[in-house]
Amino acid sequence: MRNASDTRLPATTPAGSEEGGTTRSARWSRGRVARVAALVVCAVLVLSFPSMAPNAYILSAGIVVASYACTATAWNFMGGFTGYVSLGHAAFFGLGAYGTGILIRDLGLPSFVAWLLAGVLVLLVTIPLGIAALRVRGASFVIVSISFVLILLLVFQAWGSFTGGSDGLVVPRPFPDLLRPEHHRVFFYLFTALLAVMLLAWWLIDRSRFGTGLKAVREDEDKAQALGVPTRNYKLVAYVVSATFTALAGGMYALWFGDLDPIFQFSIMLGSYMVLMALFGGVRHLYGPLLGAVVVGVGLEYFKLEFGDTQLHLVATALLLGLVVLFMPDGIIPAAKALAKRFGPQDSSIREISAAELQERNLTASGTPSSTPSGTTTGRTVADDEGEDER
């Protein structure tokens, strides 16, 4: 008769065996090659978009989507890493745009020097603002961010002698000799380059100790602070980086579009679009805001083209936000990964092991010495042990 020690658990590929390790390594290598190939294909498609665009309007719509991608990715430095939701990031977008235009108009600086200097000025302004705003959390932080953008909207509308007021501000074109199609093409590549810099910065932070600290703040700020993470400083740095990149996106938009209006530049809707795009793609993923910007941005441009000045695009945006919150709270990319993992091959970590080996490991873990060699049987049964207890 077979004894209990001869019983085997289900046979699978040993988790620590050479065959299992080789299979897993090969699968990881194939996945990495697939990701690199997909990245190269996407980069080629993006860079060839200006030559494939059938007309100047489609090309200009592509620039708008690229600017959305830049602003959503910039917002994600704060919202994605720390979990702090800001609906007032349009304030930094407007400051970068107006700062670039005013520096060109009043100081006569070259266009891209003014653009960089405007980004630096926004960085300096954001430090004391961040120190004050980050003293609160949750809904209070959302209210503070909205208040800031509304204050700037009123100031830039009322201060007509400096900002142009409701009449707006005209920003000189950096390439006056270029025709409009060539002007669009150049700025599409400039927005793409700015987006690439943002993605690289996000990737580096995500894999750094600083990024780990920011994620700890996102998961449980009080616990992270108790464990020694300088949460206040980390949040401030993330806030400043996010605001600076948003300002650079706004300044680039000013150089491209050339006509600034405070109602648009300091619009709460613009800040809401940033949040929606990041949430739609997935705030915890590098390409989440980019994917969200492509889907939402294309949808917005389509509704504006088809339905003119109606507010139907706002209704569609609200419905989309509701669907994302209800059915994909983590975004498209995490949902797609979970679906692929559910229907894909399942990894198993169960190792073929005898009952005696399992018993020996349990005794070792509990501190009880065992003299039974691994993989051997003792020949004893439960009945023998019971009889010994009775004697």
| Contact (Cβ atoms closer than 8 angstroms) between residue 187 and residue 50 | no
Confidence class of residue 378 from pLDDT cuts 50, 70 and 90?
Answer: very low
pLDDT of 19 strictly over 70: no
Q: Tell me the per-residue pLDDT of 227-251, one tens digit each, with 9 for 90 and over.
A: 999 999 999 999 999 999 999 999 9
Confidence class of residue 189 from pLDDT cuts 50, 70 and 90?
Answer: very high
Q: Tell me the per-residue pLDDT of 268-299, one tens digit each, with 9 for 90 and over.
A: 989 989 999 999 999 989 999 999 999 999 98
Q: Tell me the per-residue pLDDT of 35-91, one tens digit each, with 9 for 90 and over.
A: 788 888 888 999 999 999 988 889 999 999 999 999 999 999 999 999 999 999 999
- Distance between CA 16 and CA 120 in Å, rounded? 52
Q: What is the pLDDT of residue 356?
A: 61
- Distance between CA 86 and CA 193 in Å, rounded? 25
Residue 1: in which H helix or E strand, if any?
none
Supply the mean pLDDT for the chain.
83
Question: Which two three-digit tokens encode residue 189?
Answer: 């590549």
Q: Tell me the per-residue pLDDT of 78-125, one tens digit each, with 9 for 90 and over.
A: 999 999 999 999 999 999 999 999 999 999 999 999 999 999 999 999
% residues pLDDT > 70 (the chain): 80
Residue 55: in which H helix or E strand, if any?
none
| R_g over Cα of the chain | 29
Question: Which two three-digit tokens encode residue 277?
Answer: 């795009």
* pTM of the predicted protein model: 0.80
Confidence class of residue 311 from pLDDT cuts 50, 70 and 90?
Answer: confident
What angle is formed at CA 201 by the lines to CA 196 and CA 206, rounded to 5 degrees?
A: 125
- Distance between CA 351 and CA 195 in Å, rounded? 46
The closest of 213, 253, 203, 172 to 73, measured between CA atoms, is: 203
pLDDT of 156 strictly over 80: yes
The closest of 275, 280, 207 to 242, measured between CA atoms, is: 275
Q: Which architecture does CATH list for 58-330?
A: Orthogonal Bundle (1.10)
Sorted by where each begins, the domain ranges of the chain are 58-330
Residue 169: in which H helix or E strand, if any?
strand 169-170
pLDDT of 346 strictly over 70: no
